[in-house]
Amino acid sequence: MEPFVIYLIKSAAGLILFYVMYFTFLKNETYFGMNRLYLLSSVILASLLPLLQMPVHSVTTLANLNILMNTLTVTAETQTNTETSELSLFQIAAILWATVAIFLFVRFIIRILTIRQMIRRNTMKIQNRSKIVFTEDTIAPFSFFRYIFLRKSIRAEIAETIIAHEKAHIKQYHSVDLILLELLHIIQWFNPIVNLYKKSIKETHEFLADREVLDIGTKLLDYQTLILNESLQTTGIQLTNQFNNSQIKRRIIMMTTKKSTMKSRLKFLLLVPVTACLIAFFACNQGKVTNDTDTADTVKTTETDTPPATEDEIFEVVDQAPVFGKGDDDLMKYIQKTIKYPKEAKEKGIQGKVFVTFVVNKDGKVTNSKIERSVNEYLDAEALRVISLMPVWNPGSQNGKNVSVRMTLPIQFALQ
C-alpha cells in the first residue's frame, strides 16, 4: 500500500498547485468554457502524472566489478522473524483512507439510487430528447444527465425558462463533470482542495447555463428575479446541477461582468509550465538506469592463459567461482531468512538496488564487504549487515587451488 499512499500525496499536491493557479489567474475570467476545460484537464493531469515513470539514465557501468551475481529481490513483505510487527504509518494511513473512501462510495451509490427512485415514483414527460420529471417534493429544479426535475407546483410562466436553463446543462454534459468530481472526492477525501474544485466546476456550469438562457432572448432583470425567488423557496439535492444553488451573488455578478479580453486567453497557457513542473518533481523516477551489465546473470570465467595464484592475491576472474551452499537457491533462502526491510525506508517509500562487494577468501569466509553502489543509508546498512552475517561459502579455485575471490551481489529492495 505504500506506493498507493505516495501516489495519493503526489496527486493531492498536483491538485493544489493547479487550483492555486486557477484561483489566482482564471476564476474571474468570463471564458467559462475554457475555465471548465482547465478544471477538468487539471484533475485528469494531477491523477495521471504521478503514474508516469521517467527513469534518469546514467552512463555508469559495472563492467569492471569482478564477478557480478544474479540480482536478489527483497520485498517489504519479506519478513521471517517471529516478532509481532507493528503497523507502519503507511499501513495506518491506508486503512484510514480505505475506511472513509468506502463510506463515501456507499453514500455516492445511495444518492444515485435516490435519483433513480424519484424517476420511478413520479410522472414524466418527454420533451425534445429531455425527460421532465414532475415531483411532489419542495426541491429546487435540477438536471441529471437527460432528466429534468421540476416541482408540480411550479408556475407555468417560469417553467419554460427553468427548462431552458437545465437543458443547457444537459446539452453540455455537465453531469459527467459532477460524476468525475464526486469520484475524485471519494479518492481524495482528505484533500480540502477537492471541495473547492467541486464548488468551482458547479459555479462554472451555472455561468454557462445562464449565458445560454440569456442568449435566447430572456430579459436579464426578469431572469435574475427568477433566480432569487427560486432560491428562497426550495432546497437542493447533492450530485446534481441545481437551478438555484448557493452561488446566487456570483451568478448575478458574472451576468453583468464585461467579457474578458482576447489577451486573457493567454492565461490558460499556464497549464503548460505547471504540468512541466509536476512531471519534473512527481513523475520522474530518481533511480538510475545503467546498461545491461548491471543485471548480468552469468559468472565471468577466466581465459585459458590465466596466471597462477599467489598467496595473498584476490582474484576477480577464476576457473571456479565461490558457491553459497548448493547454489543460488540457498543464497536466496538465506537472504529471505536474514534480511529485514528497514522500517524507516518503508515509511519514507524508499526502494532501489544496492550493489555490495565482498571477498570470499580461500577458506570460504566473507570479508572486506562494502557498498559499491548506494541507494540510501538504511538500505545500504541492511545489505551490509546481511552480508557480514553470511556463513562459510564453498571457496573459489584457480588452477586447482582455493583462492580469495571478489564478488558483487546486487540486492533489489522493492516495496511491492
pLDDT in tens, 194-214: 999 999 999 999 999 999 999
| pLDDT at residue 66 in the model | 58
In angstroms, how far is CA 291 from the centroid of its own chain?
29
Residue 46 and residue 187 in one domain: yes
How does DSSP assign 348-360, residue by residue?
TT--EEEEEEEEE
Q: Is residue 68 part of a domain?
A: no
Residue where one domain finishes, among candidates 281, 314, 345: 281
CATH (domain of 315):
3.30.2420.10
- On whether both 182 and 34 belong to a single domain, the answer is yes
Give the residue with greater pLDDT, 107 vs 1. Answer: 107
Structure pTM?
A: 0.64
Q: Is the pLDDT of residue 286 over 80?
A: no
Count up the domains in the chain and report the number.
2
- Both 38 and 164 in one domain: the answer is yes
Do 342 and 406 lie in one domain? The reply is yes
Pairing of the two strands 123-127 and 142-144: unpaired
Which residues span the domain enclosing 130? 2-56+86-281
412: CB partners within 8 A, 6+ apart:
71, 72, 73, 74, 352, 353
Domain contains 66: no
pLDDT of residue 354: 93
Average of per-residue pLDDT values in the chain: 83
Residue 144 covered by a domain: yes
What DSSP state is assigned to residue 235?
B
pLDDT of 309 > 80? The answer is: no
d(CA 74, CA 351): 10
330 plus 390 within the same structural domain? yes
Asked if residue 109 and residue 32 are part of one domain, the reply reads yes
Range with lowest mean pLDDT among 148-162, 200-214, 256-270, 375-389: 256-270
96 domain residue, yes or no: yes
Evaluate whether residue 67 is within a structural domain.
Answer: no
Q: Report the candidate in 357, 278, 287, 391 with the shortest Cα–Cα distance to residue 68.
A: 357
Q: Is the pLDDT of residue 25 over 50?
A: yes
Residue 74 is assigned to a structural domain of this protein? no
The domain boundary, picked from 250, 281, 312, lies at 281
High-pLDDT (> 90) share of the chain, %: 49
> Do residue 103 and residue 174 come from a single domain?
yes
Q: Is residue 361 domain-shared with residue 308, that is, in the same domain? A: yes
Closest-CA residue to 240 (of 191, 205, 200, 196): 205
Reference 66, options 368, 328, 385; nearest CA is 368
Taking a C-beta distance cutoff of 8 angstroms, is the pair 382, 342 a contact?
yes
Q: Final residue of a domain: which of 281, 309, 342? A: 281
pLDDT in tens, 311-362: 568 998 888 999 999 888 888 889 888 888 888 888 888 888 999 999 999 9
> How far is the C-alpha of 277 from the C-alpha of 279, rounded, in Å?
5
Claim to verify: residue 98 and residue 21 sit in the same structural domain: yes
Same domain, 241 and 323: no
CA distance 347 to 19: 28
Is 386 part of a structural domain of the chain?
A: yes
- Are residues 220 and 367 located together in one domain of the fold? no
Is the pLDDT score of 84 beyond 70? no
Q: Is 70 exceeded by the pLDDT of residue 103?
A: yes
Q: Are residues 356 and 221 in the same domain?
A: no
Is 72 a domain residue?
A: no
